[in-house]
Structure 1
Amino acid sequence: MSESPEDPGSVRPAQASAAAEDREHALHARELDAADPLAAIRDRFTLDDTVYLDGNSLGALPRAVPDRLAEVVAREWGELRIRSWSESGWWAAPERIGDRIAPLVGAAPGRIVVGDSTSVNVFKAVVGGVRMAGKGCTEILVDATTFPTDGYIARSAARMTGLAVRPVEPARIADEVTERTALALVNHVDYRTGRLNDLPGITAALHSAGALAVWDLCHSAGALPVGLDAHGVDLAVGCTYKYLNGGPGSPAYLYVRESLQERFDSPLPGWNSHAEPFAMDPGYAPAEGIVRGRVGTPDILSLLALEAALDAWDGVSIEAVRTKSLALTDYFLDCVNAYAPPGRVRSVTPYDHSRRGSQVSLESARAGEVMTELIRRGVVGDFREPDVLRFGFTPLYTSFAEAERAAWVLGEVLRALPEEEPEAAGTAG
């Protein structure tokens, strides 16, 4: 997913007109920050005075990562070399790091393996799920609002397995699933609107019809409780460079429900998932457990950077993160209502907490130009065609003061738009 580049000549928020100390909402923001139980976690990240609200595209750099990578390069690779596969624990990293991610998505140890890209893991999950589906299945349901790659992969998997793909709005899946459905691939949080889909309800409806549930967690893992084990999810995938802050292109992960692992038949059987990988047997025999989700040699530098990044989560509960996420997004919406000119912006993110992820998406005329100007002024979000401004809130490091400043600068930018410009219907409220 593309990120909006920062302009090195940005005007920082501190330079904005109407000093923050004179604004009522800014005073309230300072009070909220002073009472925030997660406020100290911000110091675990490398940040500046930019208001960074694009953590739903690329998370900020955790302070622990540079030193850890330097150690890996200089000692583990530079000195130990091949010995690091055993002596430094490289070989076990995909499962070890999977166990670090597991509590953040509600999974027990031994159910997540880290490696490969999100797209590759979606392919494994969909084809593997079809292979486990009952006889007579003829279709795969795909979230009609999905991130495009998921749809591309699903259609390719369908061609390979002889099934058809049927796009369905997430809210309609419970009504549309039939005995002919092998599985449904659904985004937990809609990447464009920030809408949170009903993972427990959709999963239960799929199971009632004999179908499997495959969830894409890219915009929910690290932002809100997921409950994979508790809700009986069959397979799930997710990236680690958003709310998990693993770095650009950091490896994704695959979850397979424990009761399905013995039946999981990966469409990409690599030597790393072989029961005896160093036997170099020309015949493939899958390893036991989640290891069969591996493919080839792991990307060690990215894996170990991710492992260090996860140290930022030490002592943090996902429930506390969710509480702050909702408070931040509520506060931002309140500030937008206070500062934005009437009729210039409209929220497409649900106000209902049970249907909201950790981002706020606003429709606005000339949204691309608006975001460019926001970035120039030191407020970094991103833009989605044709008219959506996206603001991602990462509770580990986003403050209420930043939410208020972003809304204020947005109001200034919107007020500067020519009066004759077409206006988005309604307001943020």
Structure 2
Amino acid sequence: MRPCYLTLLGAASVAALDNGVGKLPILGYNTWNVFQCDYNETVLLAQAQAMVDNGLLQAGYDWFMLDDCYSLKDRSDQGSIVADPKKFPSGMKSFTQKLKSLGFRAGIYSDSGYKTCGGFPGSYGHEAQDLETWSDWGFSYLKYDNCYIPFDRVTQENVYGRYQRMTRAIEAHSTSTQSPPIQLALCEWGWQQPWIWGGRLGQSWRVGGDIRPWWSALASIINSASFIASYTNFYARNDFDMLEVGNTGTGTPPGNLTFDEAKTHFTAWALLKSPLFLGTDITKATPDTISILANDDILKINQDPNVGEAIAPFRWGENPDWTFDPSSPASYWTGNSSYGVVFMVINTLDIPQQMSFNLTESWAIQAGRVYSVYDMWSHTQNGTALRSIQVTIPPHGVSALLLNDAGPEPCGTTPYCAGWWQCAYANGTYYSN
């Protein structure tokens, strides 16, 4: 194991804690997108109970993330963060114990600056003290934001250094208490390419601003993912922000993702191995919403215990390969898994279209073999594929397929090579289709 939150730039090598903390993406609930600051203990426990009642806890969403606005605006005389007694009248320890009695682990939020983005106390200069408080309250996961940062002449360090302060505090706390380290998720927004360095400090890193519940926002995030998917692995992964499945949203354009757009949203986030935090009101969840979020065929790829890499594009589709286009991201994706070769195909158009690909466009496919085809949305075996697959996909919809070797191609299959332009006879002359 290599727990990335213990790898310190410019520091002596740190012995790894071989306990699996942070190996796989987090699944859970986050309070921000639904409530922002307008919540209390009763409201949040109702969300947790709804997750239990709808089978989402059983599906693996076992973290409950308390985002911004949980504290008073001022620290105590001793410098400690103080939980808002109006929001948590029974105390923060009681709140996390109630979550744990339902089966959840508890996560909390702070900031690398003077204040959080909502204007509450940040942790700059209080890293060790705040860790003691959160640990005492019963939290073991930290989302760490990037607002209200001190002047450069104060910090004399860049964003990496400010996050490293918390990493070192986590290491010291874990060592002194002989307990597993609090997991650290960097909410840096992507402006300093955290996919390059984030794995040295935390178990995930945000790659953009806050998500919005409409297609153009999802397409833009998937476009960004098209270029950085390969940075994900065990203990370190891109975080594409919360799941908006089932959220009606506000603002312009309006929310209300279509069912097919919601499926694409969930599929892309899960297969790209992003943390999966629900950002919707689960007390109002419809059967359609639950059917998407609890898709165990998709979730098992996200939670694959043997393959940490995300899927990645093998062809763009509407644009030439490697085109940066927020409205039309890569359409054809593939990757390996413990359960077979994964393919994701996204229709970025506003109309249905038939989409096809050659199997050997995927690096994970063996040439000259036939493959069984399993549809991870219909949950059906759909025969075998020889050389290519064609699927019809609704507007902004997705196809998610799992392929497994079903034996050699039939004798006499032509052309002799699926990628015929690369093949040659034994005498050294190229084969021509």
Shorter-chain TM-score: what band? under 0.3
Structure possessing the higher relative contact order (Cα contacts under 8 Å, 6 or more residues apart): 1
What is the TM-score when the length of structure 1 is the normalising length?
A: 0.25
What is the TM-score when the length of structure 2 is the normalising length?
A: 0.25
Bigger strand share = 2
